[in-house]
Amino acid sequence: MIPTNTSGLRRYMEKDERIAVMQVFSDLCDQAKSVIGSSPYTHTELDFRPVAEKLSSGEPEDAWENLKVAVAHCGKCKLCSTRNHTVFGEGVIHPLVMVVGEGPGAEEDASGRPFVGRAGQYLDKWLASIGLSRETNVFIGNIVKCRPPENRVPEPDEIAACIPYVRKQIELLQPKLLLLSGSTAAHALLERVEGVGKLRNQTFDYHGIPTVVTYHPAGVLRNPEYRRPVWEDMKRIAQILGLPILGKS
């Protein structure tokens, strides 16, 4: 436990020692900040403390574990006040494909797991059609890690606060391909404004990673006319990665 409260320290430490301890804590906060990322929100000790404690625990530096701790305790945007669970994402490390959706829905908020509701089960089927699954070769995450109330689209300030986490996840996971599902993920990570209809059928380069855009499974459940384009997108991904096309189940 790191003492961070100067009056608490005063009782048993000389001034020089107190300054040294506060300096160590401040350095740890700077390190924690590089894990948490910048945001338009004021960082409080609440954001830094769990990460700073992890960094000072003497355990070997593990950027992925630090990131998990940072997300689990995050208070960088207003979505922290209505969430039940943060949803970090799940799947394998160094996956073939990393899928990025929009944000947790009700089932995800209740369970802390990504894409477990109806849309998620549908997404799993798309992936299975080309031999992909979160158990073997996929990591699934979201642009925002906390559920927006009533499943509304995340607001620009929330995306700005949360996006450093997904960028860091991509950097650490180094997937062979990035699949952006829906316009929120595509707009946020590619910094483009066109609709999915315009962005699909292209392969973008996200920091050296081939990146494909497709519709969001919730949107496809509502609009069956998107089923065929999604199937075309899955086949194109299979082709890029040299995967077998197993077909729709």
Phi, then psi, of 177 in degrees rounded to 5: -150, 145
Report yes or no: 2 and 28 within 8 Å, Cβ to Cβ: yes
Residues 204-223 binding ligand URA (CB under 6 A) are 218
Residues 72-91 that bind ligand URA (CB under 6 A): none
Q: Where are the alpha helices (DSSP H) in the chain?
A: 6-10, 15-36, 45-55, 63-72, 106-111, 118-128, 156-173, 183-190, 196-199, 217-222, 227-241
* Among 35, 77, 140, 178, interactor with ligand SF4 by CB under 6 A: 77
Provide the minimum distance between the beta carbon of 179 and ligand URA in the complex, in angstroms, as a whole number: 12
Q: Is 113 in the site for ligand SF4 (CB under 6 A)?
A: no
Verify binding: residue 143, ligand SF4, rule CB under 6 A: no
Q: Which of residues 52-71 bind ligand SF4 (CB under 6 A)?
A: 71
Residue 158 found at the interface with ligand SF4 (CB under 6 A)? yes
Would you count residue 142 as binding ligand URA (CB under 6 A)?
Answer: yes
Phi, psi for residue 98 in degrees, rounded to 5: -110, 125
Binding mask 17-56 for ligand SF4 (x = CB under 6 A): ----------------------------------------
State the residue for tokens 């436990």: 1
Question: Binder to ligand SF4 among 28, 80, 189, 243 (CB under 6 A)?
Answer: 80
Short-list 144, 142, 32, CA closest to 79: 144
Say whether residue 108 binds ligand SF4 (CB under 6 A): no
Q: Among ligand URA, ligand SF4, none, what does residue 183 contact (CB within 5–8 Å per kind)?
A: none
**What 3-state DSSP class applies to 204?**
strand
Long-range contacts of 12-20 (CB under 8 A, 24+ apart): none
Interface residues with ligand SF4 (CB under 6 A)? 71, 74-77, 79-80, 86, 144-146, 158, 161-162
